[in-house]
Chains A and B, each alone.
Chain A
């Protein structure tokens, strides 16, 4: 069974943390490290990482706490506003598409000339609109009516 821990590990770590390793530790600990694979690894890793920690501490050019707070506060406000404005945008999208559809239906019934024009146009397309295409086209139109408000909402939400 592989040993993963040495009872002297803490002593070694304390010596490294206090910058006593390797010159200001007693001979007994030094001899132990030379004979213990675990403590040798601890020394190798801990001395380098500890020194690197000091370097990183000096390198850190962090924003001031006031700047960090200001940015966080601003972002919290903006996210709250964005979330709150989504339902409004959705309602506007649905309303716009509904008005458009009502306009089309109203035009259809209010102006017979428009209806006749559309019918004559449709009859000119009759060969293409045979029975095999009629159903898919109907499905596509219904899907468009459903998808349009959602797409509009997504566009507005992206903005």
Chain B
């Protein structure tokens, strides 16, 4: 790619994006632009790593259960944090930052659903047997519980799954849910009631809970 009088782009950059030789001046300019791009990220490395360690499991669990696809959740997790880092926003608290992160994850899951992405399927943990033994749970009933819930979840809308997960898995308040889903606070109560009723009905139809 390089010729005399021209320079090679530092290895940290992807050279495949260039179909021609670059001059040394151009490389220096691009190098400067790349460094500035990192400086404009929402957080520095230390702050990001701390924030990620506190939130990533929750975000992954949310994405995995809302989309019903663990591989997709892996992809969307990375995308969620990248978009968060690129966001040109100021946050007045860690809670506000966290709510915005979930808002991004919510939008990504919704967009993927609209694009005909993942169909919700029944997630089966690779190591559920081990957990059942360690925890002393009945493996058969554990598996049945998970299967029933996953099937019932697949019968309700993405928004219903989001509402229910935030409310009952994360214990979020109505105000927090409204921020994370971008819905009016006043509408959360009725939306949650309907979502819960639909899921309970689906579970009863599957025999997952007592009638």
Q: Which residues in A have their C-beta under 8 angstroms from that of B126?
A: 59
- Per-residue CB contact flags for chain A residues 65-77 toward chain B (1 = under 8 Å, else 0) read 1101101111111
The answer to whether residues A72 and B33 also contact, given A4-B189, A55-B131 and a CB cut-off of 8 A, is no
Q: Which residues in A have their C-beta under 8 angstroms from that of B4?
A: none
- Report the bound CA distance from A22 to B170 in whole Å: 20
Partner of A45, one of B35, B82, B86, B203: B203
Q: Which residues in A have their C-beta under 8 angstroms from that of B133?
A: none
B190 x A81 contact (CB < 8 A): no
A77 x B12 contact (CB < 8 A): yes
- Report the bound CA distance from A82 to B53 in whole Å: 30
* Interface residue? A120 (CB, 8 A): no
A69 x B48 contact (CB < 8 A): yes
Minimum CB distance partner of A81 in chain B: B30
* Interface residue? B24 (CB, 8 A): no
- Report the bound CA distance from A68 to B50 in whole Å: 12
Minimum CB distance partner of A155 in chain B: B19
- Report the bound CA distance from A21 to B125 in whole Å: 25
Tell me how many residue pairs across A and B have CB atoms closer than 8 Å. 154
Chain B positions within 8 Å of A, measured between CB atoms, are: 12-14, 16-20, 26, 29-30, 33-38, 41, 45, 48-50, 52-53, 56-57, 60-61, 64-65, 70, 74, 77-78, 81-82, 85-86, 123, 125-128, 131, 145-146, 148-149, 164-165, 168-171, 189-190, 193, 196-197, 199-200, 203-204, 208-210
24 pairs of residues in contact across A and B, judged by CB atoms under 8 Å = A41-B196, A45-B203, A48-B149, A48-B208, A49-B149, A49-B168, A51-B145, A52-B146, A58-B127, A59-B126, A62-B56, A63-B78, A65-B48, A65-B49, A68-B48, A68-B81, A74-B12, A76-B41, A76-B85, A77-B35, A77-B37, A78-B14, A81-B34, A85-B30
